[in-house]
């Protein structure tokens, strides 16, 4: 049996700056609106038409990476469910019949409806954030390629110096080769990967 899942708080890390998320997220999620309170910006969303749940999303900058704090509020849903239950029990007592209690099915339907809306929102958000990471990485790569073309370097010499540094520090070049391979998986050529690692390690 499928049991509803109602997360109260979730944390998600995204490999894009916070400003990028603030600028682009409302364009892709129509029910998300940016607000500000006490000097802090956050996104607010009403889930399932506002009768089910509310969501606040705080985006915390951590350099080129952002931390997203998702906080769910189900007080509106709880109030509606209690009100419906009281009405059904009242009708059952007033009519001396258990028939109104079959209205509990309406309560279950509402619970699953809100749960479905929450799950859909989380799935949409995950797909959107993945798209943000891909697009931002592509944009950064184009900028870095333009910068490298304007300032060419002897990649063979950079690689030699990187190898010397890693052998001196670690006794091998396993970590260096791993970094280069990871950047190649992201779409950089081997030469571009070497330049990026060299810049990160202070070798120019």
Query: pLDDT tens for residues 56-97?
Result: 999 998 878 999 999 999 988 888 888 888 888 888 888 888
pLDDT of residue 128: 93
CA dist., res. 144 & res. 193, Å (int): 11
Please report which confidence band the pLDDT of residue 10 belongs to, taking 50, 70 and 90 as the band edges: very high
Q: Phi and psi at residue 21, in whole multiples of 5°?
A: -70, -45
Residues 6+ apart with CB under 8 A from 150: none
User: What is each CA distance from 102 to 1, 3, 78, in whole angstroms?
Assistant: 20, 20, 19
- What's the whole-model pTM score? 0.75
- Which residues are CB-contacts of 162 (< 8 A; sequence separation ≥ 6)? 173, 176, 194, 197, 198, 201, 203
Q: Residue 66 and residue 12: Cα distance in Å, rounded? A: 8
Residue whose pair of structure tokens reads 């009708």 in the numeric block: 91
Which is it for the CA torsion 14, 19, 22, 27, positive or negative?
Answer: negative
Query: Quick check: helix, strand or coil at residue 187?
Result: coil
DSSP single-letter state for residue 16: S
Listed in order, strand segments (DSSP E) in 6-101 are 9-14, 32-37, 40-47, 53-62, 65-73
Question: What is the per-residue pLDDT across 29-48, written as a single tens digit (0 to 9) for each?
Answer: 878 888 887 777 889 988 87
């Amino acid at each position: 049996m499928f049991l509803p899942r109602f997360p109260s708080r979730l944390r998600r890390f995204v490999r894009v700056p916070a400003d990028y998320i603030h600028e682009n997220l409302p364009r892709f999620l129509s029910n998300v609106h940016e607000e500000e309170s006490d000097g802090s910006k956050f996104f607010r969303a009403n889930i399932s038409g506002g009768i089910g749940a509310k969501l606040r999303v705080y985006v915390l900058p951590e350099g080129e990476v952002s931390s997203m704090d998702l906080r769910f509020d189900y007080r509106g849903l709880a109030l509606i469910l209690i009100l419906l239950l009281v009405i059904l029990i009242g009708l059952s007592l007033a009519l001396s019949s258990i028939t109104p209690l079959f209205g509990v099915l309406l309560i279950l339907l509402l619970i699953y409806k809100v749960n479905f809306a929450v799950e859909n929102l989380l799935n949409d958000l995950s797909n959107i954030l993945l798209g943000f990471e891909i697009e931002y990485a592509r944009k950064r790569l184009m900028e870095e390629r333009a910068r490298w073309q304007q300032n060419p370097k002897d990649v063979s010499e950079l690689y030699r110096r990187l190898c010397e540094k890693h052998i001196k520090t670690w006794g091998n070049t396993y970590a260096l080769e791993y970094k280069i391979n990871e950047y190649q998986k992201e779409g950089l050529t081997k030469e571009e990967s070497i330049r990026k690692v060299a810049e990160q390690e202070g070798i120019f």
